[in-house]
A = this chain, B = another copy of it.
Amino acid sequence: MVRLTLTHDLDQLHQDLVEMATRAETAIEESIQALNRQDAALARSVIAGDDVVDELERAIEHRCLNILARHQPLARDLRAVSAALKVITDLERISDGATDIGEIVLRLAGQAYIKPLVDIPRMAELATSMVRDSISAYIQKDQHLAMAVTLRDDEMDAAFERILMELTHMMREHPESVAQAVDFLFIAKYLERMGDHATNIAEWVIYLVTGVHPQDKELHEAAQQELPTGEQ
């Protein structure tokens, strides 16, 4: 009976997490749509939506603490709850990033863009899909899907480096483009950070499934390699 209730509570937790993740994904998409179309109303709606995400974070956290207190879950269930507590922090930061982009859109309102947007929308698509897959991996406890998310973060970093080079070049050649290029640079940085957050989520899924956090594993392996052969 207790077991059944724990399952029920974990299901509820999953539903809340999916809702929060969906809102974070939508925030990314809409912030970039707002940028593309110079749509100040949409940017304002993204900024306003961040409050809902913050409230969801608080509600899910409350639910997690309740589950811990009521059921004292063990092993994988305990890891599921402790991973959820971390995942919501990353989702909240992703939504913050979309808000930061929304604020830049408002600042750029009415200005002609110095260049067509190509890599930025691609980074946003990548970020959205990484968030979606990392949360699916959490719900389905799918270690391989989580691993695939962490690998896609390299694509994200490469896209950021490309934008950085392109914008740096543009600022040097066309000093009048500096102010806007700086704004685009920050947008690219916010998107790159969203990729980092999705990667964090995916790493928590790997911990949830395997009991070992990928970064602990790296540390452990590095420590092993430093040992003299006889002590391994």
Contacts and interface: CB of A to CB of B under 8 A. Distances in A.
SS class of chain A's interface: helix, strand, loop or mixed?
A: helix
A25 interface: no
Contact of A172 (B61, B65, B176, B185): B176
Interface in A174-194: 175-176, 178-179, 182, 185-186, 189
A186 B185 CA distance: 10
Contact of A68 (B65, B86, B213): B65
Contact of A216 (B58, B189, B213): B58
A215 interface: yes
A45 interface: no
Given A85-B85, A182-B168, A185-B182, A215 B54 contact: yes
Contact of A178 (B68, B78, B171): B171
A113 to B, nearest CB: 17
Chain A residues touching B, range: 20 to 34
A226 interface: no
Nearest to A78: B65
Contacts of A168: 178-179, 182
Interface of A: 51, 54-55, 58, 61, 65, 68-69, 72, 78, 82, 85-86, 89, 164, 168, 171-173, 175-176, 178-179, 182, 185-186, 189, 213, 215-216, 219
